[in-house]
Structure 1
Amino acid sequence: MREVAFIKQNKEKWLEFEQAIFGKSKKSPDELASLYIHLVNDLSYAQTYYPKSKTVVYLNHLASIIYQKIYKTKRQDTNRLVYFFKTEAPLIVYQNRRYILYAFILFSVFTAMGVISAANDGAFVRLIMGDHYVNMTLENIEKGNPVAVYKSGSNWGSAFGITFNNLRVGIFSFIMGIFGGIGTGWVLFQNCIMLGSFQYFFYEQDVFWESVRGIWIHGSMEIFAIVIEAAAGLVLGASILFPKTYSRVASLKMGLKNGLKIVLSTMPFTIAAGILEGFVTRYSPDMPRFLNIFIILFTLALISYYYLIYPFRVNKKVNHPANV
Structure 2
Amino acid sequence: MREVAFIKQNKEKWLEFEHSFLNKEKKSPDDVANLHIKIMNDLVYAQTYYPKSKVTSYLNKLAKTSFDTVYDSKRRDRNIILYFFLEKVPLLSYKYRKYFYISFIFFFVCFFIGLISTFNDETFARQILGNSYVDQTLENIESGDAMAIYKSGSNWATFIGIYDNNQRVGLNMFLSGLFLGIGTCFYIVYNAIMVAVFQAFFYQQNTLLDSLKGIWIHGTYEIFGMIIEAGAGYIIGASILFPGTLKRFQSFKIGVKEAFYIFLSTIPFTIIAAFLEGYVTRYSNRMHPIFCFAIIFFCLITISYYYLIMPYKVAQKHNLR
Q: For the superposition of Structure 1 and Structure 2, which TM-score range results when normalised by the shorter chain?
A: 0.7 to 0.9
Question: Are the aligned partners of 2:29 and 2:70 in contact in 1 as well (CA < 8 Å)?
Answer: no
Distance 2:174 2:199 in 1: 25
Amino acid at match of 1:111: F
Aligned residue in 2 for 1:176: 176
Distance 1:202 1:299 in 2: 22
1:59 and 1:229, CA in 2 relative to 1: closer, same or farther beyond 3 A?
A: closer
Distance 2:293 2:16 in 1: 49
C-alpha RMSD over aligned residues: 3.4
1:13 and 1:89, CA in 2 relative to 1: closer, same or farther beyond 3 A?
A: farther
- Is 2:264 the partner of 1:264? yes
1:16 Cα shift?
7.7
Task: Report matched runs for 1:71-110 at 5 Å.
Answer: 71=75, 74=77, 78-110=78-110
1:23 Cα shift?
3.5
1:286 Cα shift?
0.2
1:317 Cα shift?
0.6
1:285 and 1:16, CA in 2 relative to 1: closer, same or farther beyond 3 A?
A: farther
CA distances 1:27-53 after superposition (whole Å, capped 9, x unpaired): 698x989x99xxxxxxxxxxxxxxxxx
Identity of paired residues, percent? 47
1:124 Cα shift?
0.7
> Structure 1, unaligned stretches of length 5 or more?
1-6, 37-54
* Count of aligned pairs between the two proteins: 293
Aligned residue in 2 for 1:278: 278
Deviant stretches of 4+, over 4 Å: 10-22, 58-68
TM-score, with structure 2 as normaliser: 0.82
Question: Are the aligned partners of 1:32 and 1:70 in contact in 2 as well (CA < 8 Å)?
Answer: no
1:149 Cα shift?
1.3
SS at match of 2:153: coil
> Structure 2, unaligned stretches of length 5 or more?
1-6, 41-58
CA distances 1:19-77 after superposition (whole Å, capped 9, x unpaired): 89753771698x989x99xxxxxxxxxxxxxxxxxx9xx999978865763355x2xxx
- Is 2:30 the partner of 1:26? yes
TM-score, with structure 1 as normaliser: 0.81
1:12 and 1:182, CA in 2 relative to 1: closer, same or farther beyond 3 A?
A: farther
Task: Report matched runs for 1:1-324 at 5 Å.
Answer: 14=14, 17=17, 22-23=26-27, 26=30, 69-71=73-75, 74=77, 78-319=78-319
Aligned residue in 2 for 1:45: none
Distance 1:221 1:165 in 2: 14
Amino acid at match of 2:207: V
Distance 1:16 1:292 in 2: 58
1:67 and 1:293, CA in 2 relative to 1: closer, same or farther beyond 3 A?
A: closer
